[in-house]
């Protein structure tokens, strides 16, 4: 059975090193980080921090957490990456992340909407 989680819990539940190693072979460096070939650059190196739960590529400027990696690697929107990771790791997205589309097809605005005069 899948459990309901929010985005922060999903981010913290996924081991970024294991997730990135599914795509990029990583090896330990002298500074406690893991390094591998950057998927966005021919000559760049990706640096992964298990402690910070983040990655960076100094050459391309790509950086972020496990959701950002999934999004950038597969060209997904934030919501698509969130759904993909939730499915892959056996969790469900909380109801607050359901689509904001109305029956009419219009999108519900977030928060208060104000118009300039």
pLDDT at 67 over 80: yes
Instruction: Identify the pLDDT of residue 87.
Output: 87
Query: From CA 117, how far away is CA 104, in angstroms rounded?
Result: 27
Instruction: Identify the pLDDT of residue 99.
Output: 46
Query: From CA 99, how far away is CA 82, in angstroms rounded?
Result: 13
Instruction: Identify the pLDDT of residue 5.
Output: 53
Instruction: Identify the pLDDT of residue 12.
Output: 84
Instruction: Identify the pLDDT of residue 22.
Output: 93
Report the CATH fold assignment for 3-97: DNA Primase; Chain A (3.90.580)
Give the model's confidence band at 93: pLDDT under 50 very low, under 70 low, under 90 confident, else very high: low
pLDDT at 33 over 70: yes
User: What does the domain layout of the chain look like in residue ranges?
Assistant: 3-97
């Amino acid at each position: 059975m899948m459990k309901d989680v929010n985005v922060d819990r999903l981010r913290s539940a996924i081991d970024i090193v294991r997730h990135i190693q599914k795509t990029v072979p990583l090896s330990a460096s002298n500074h406690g980080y893991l390094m591998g070939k950057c998927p966005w650059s021919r000559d760049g190196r990706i640096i992964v921090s298990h402690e910070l739960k983040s990655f960076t590529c100094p050459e391309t400027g790509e950086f972020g957490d496990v959701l950002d990696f999934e999004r950038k690697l597969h060209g997904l929107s934030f919501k698509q990456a969130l759904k993909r990771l939730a499915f892959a790791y056996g969790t469900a997205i909380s109801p607050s992340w359901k689509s904001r589309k109305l029956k009419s097809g219009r999108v519900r605005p977030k928060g208060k909407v104000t118009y300039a005069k």
